[in-house]
Amino acid sequence: MLAQLWLPILLSAVALFFASFLSWMIVQLHKNDWVKLPQEDAFLNSIRLLNVPVGSYMFPGCNTQAEMQSAEVKQRFEQGPVGIMTVFGKVNMGRNLGLTFLYFLVVSFCLAYLGTIGIDPSAKFMDVFRFMATAALLAYLPAIVQHSIWFHCRITGHVLESIAYALITGAIFGALWPTA
């Protein structure tokens, strides 16, 4: 049965890739997710002088649990600022776009597999839609919510995207579900 779902797998990945593009570039749901630092030039010059390698950093930072419990580190947390920073290498848009499409393709494949387990082959559109949209929502939404709890990122755009992705996925699988 999974082999019969190659078209909705591919179409949902393509549709979600374009929905992602629309979300970021046209609707601009993420426009305010990141803001420019005050005195950005001074900050960038400082980072360059420190020769900070590519990686993710937390500040204040600790190397051990014992260090985290020290009075000195506790004082740094109280004084602030407290934050996280990710330093990238050169951004390769082609690679990132390709990985985004691959992500949607893999998730769509996994959703299709789940559908073969949980949906009767003779199911009607609405039954397939409800199951697949719910499964897709569970695939796209929870990770960003947990991430935002810990790292304080804005999630409004991600929540809206997750709902849209779920509805798109449900509709495509519902319309193309092979009936017995």
How many CB atoms are located within 10 Å of the residue 114 CB?
Answer: 16
What's the confidence (pLDDT) of residue 146?
A: 82
- Which string of DSSP letters, residue by residue, matches 38-62? TTHHHHHHHHHHHTPPSEEEEES--
Distance CA 180, CA 175 (A): 14
Tell me what pLDDT residue 90 has.
92
**Is the pLDDT assigned to residue 39 strictly greater than 80?**
yes
Check if the beta carbon of residue 11 is closer than 8 Å to that of residue 173: no
pLDDT of 150 strictly over 80? no
Q: Is the pLDDT of residue 163 over 80?
A: yes
Other C-beta atoms within 10 Å of 19: how many? 19
Judge whether residue 10 has pLDDT over 90.
yes
Q: Does the pLDDT at position 8 exceed 90?
A: yes
| Confidence band of 13 (pLDDT split at 50, 70, 90) | very high
**pLDDT for res 149:** 83
At 164, list the tokens: 């849209």
Q: What is the structure's pLDDT at 2?
A: 86
CB atoms closer than 10 angstroms to residue 13: 22
Digit-coded pLDDT (tens) for 73-116: 999 999 999 998 999 889 899 999 999 999 999 999 999 999 99
Is residue 100 within 8 A of residue 20, CB to CB? The reply is: yes
Put simply, whether the predicted model's pTM sits higher than 0.85 gets the answer no
